[in-house]
Amino acid sequence: MTPERPAFGTGKILEARLPFANQNISLPAFEHPISVKENFYRTARRDTPRWVPFPAADMQELHMAHLAEHGPPGRQLGPDLSAKSDRYTYLDSFGSSWTWDRNAGGACMTIGTRVCDDILKWEEQIRFPDLHEWDLEETARHFMATRYDPERILHLDIYHGPFQALSDLLGSFADALEAMFEEPEACRAFFDRFTDWLIWLIDKLSSLYPADMFTVHDDWGTERDTFFSPHMMETLLFEPTKKVIDHVHSLGKLYQFHCCGKVDRFMSAMCELGPDFVQLQRRVNDTPGYKKLYGSHLGFNTGLEGLVPGVRYSPGETAKIVKDNLDMFAQGGGFLPAVYGASPETMWDIYSELYLQSRRLYERG
């Protein structure tokens, strides 16, 4: 039987954290008919979930910067979304320079940085890190002893895939695209080598953490169109990307593909690649339309349509927004909503409505 909707701040409370917003929130602690983990895997595999998962409630999330507390001086594995500084510069494990900017909401490559100045020399100039200097083991031991929640999904966001890695090391997207046009064989050789390293990293992290899902970021488009043609993607990037996805699945884990840009031309290929979830840039992609076309093959981690950050909604308005989104995305599973920029009361209301309405939806079949 579906439970009743609790008033804000009443009943059993679940303390949660929004990693991108660096915000602590309180949510109702519902009694579940099956475990959170089983339901999440059912959702990802589009196989009879019992409710729509809510990341803040059902998931623990670690980003690359959180996987090594004591790296070499001036270096970190990736952007720290909880950084208190407004702006600072760091080197990543490959030696690329990044500048964190709070106003930008992330880290961008520091102007002028370039690890490799010629794709034909990539084997000489690019050092693939084994990360022994980062003491990953100690950070993992501390997390497992003090913070790990075995009842929730553990999600590791490990940052860049092969195309963005090439851009990072050559200095820009433009340099990476020029290399792919002029020296495709060298680029494919780099992509294959990077893929082997990425699989090594996934295996290393899997030995330290009981991770359930990995996210890899590889932006394949601008806001106007894809960076490259479907033919170039299929020739250079499809097989390396699929190799990583298949490896994650061989470990019994889930894979989420974050891909910004207008990537409608790649959606059929996304289905063949087989990630469990895709994270797409909504304002240039028809995500509700993609759900109709590709929802039997792909899950969608996406924001709630009609929800404006910072607006305080009444409970009735929230219930309507949630119903509309469940109608768009929840049928058959594969819906992982991303919600940020809402007040504590609105977050409570959104989670309550998502949980209760989706329970009823899936109970009806």
Residue 299, strand partner residues: 277
Torsion sign (Cα): 188, 193, 197, 202:
positive
**Domain annotation covers residue 3:** no
**Domain annotation covers residue 8:** no
Number of domains in the chain: 1
Stretch 5-30: mean pLDDT: 86
Q: What CATH number is attached to the domain comprising 129? A: 3.20.20.210
pLDDT at 19 over 90: no
**Domain annotation covers residue 6:** no
Per-residue pLDDT, 106: 80
**Domain annotation covers residue 5:** no
Which of 1 and 12 is assigned the larger pLDDT? 12
Candidates 295, 291, 266; CA nearest to 45 is 295
Per-residue pLDDT, 79: 83
**Domain annotation covers residue 78:** yes
Return the SS3 of 1. coil
Strand duo 59-63 + 153-160: pairing = parallel
H helical segments located in the chain: 36-44, 55-58, 122-125, 136-146, 162-170, 173-182, 184-208, 230-232, 238-250, 267-273, 287-294, 315-329, 344-364
**Domain annotation covers residue 324:** yes
Q: Following CA atoms 168, 75, 261, 63 in sequence, which dihedral angle do they give, to the nearest 10 degrees?
A: 140
pLDDT at 217 over 90: yes
Convert the pLDDT of each residue in 59-91 to its tens digit.
999 999 889 877 888 899 988 877 778 898 999
Candidates 339, 354, 353, 270; CA nearest to 301 is 339
Contact 327, 52 (CB under 8 A): no
Per-residue pLDDT, 361: 97
Q: Domain range spanning residue 100?
A: 13-364
Per-residue pLDDT, 20: 65
Candidates 337, 355, 341; CA nearest to 291 is 337
Stretch 104-128: mean pLDDT: 93
pLDDT at 296 over 70: yes
**Domain annotation covers residue 323:** yes
Contact 22, 82 (CB under 8 A): yes
**Domain annotation covers residue 2:** no
Per-residue pLDDT, 21: 64
Task: Look over the chain and give the mean of its residue pLDDT values, rounded to a whole number.
Answer: 94
Beta carbons within 10 angstroms of residue 251's beta carbon? 13
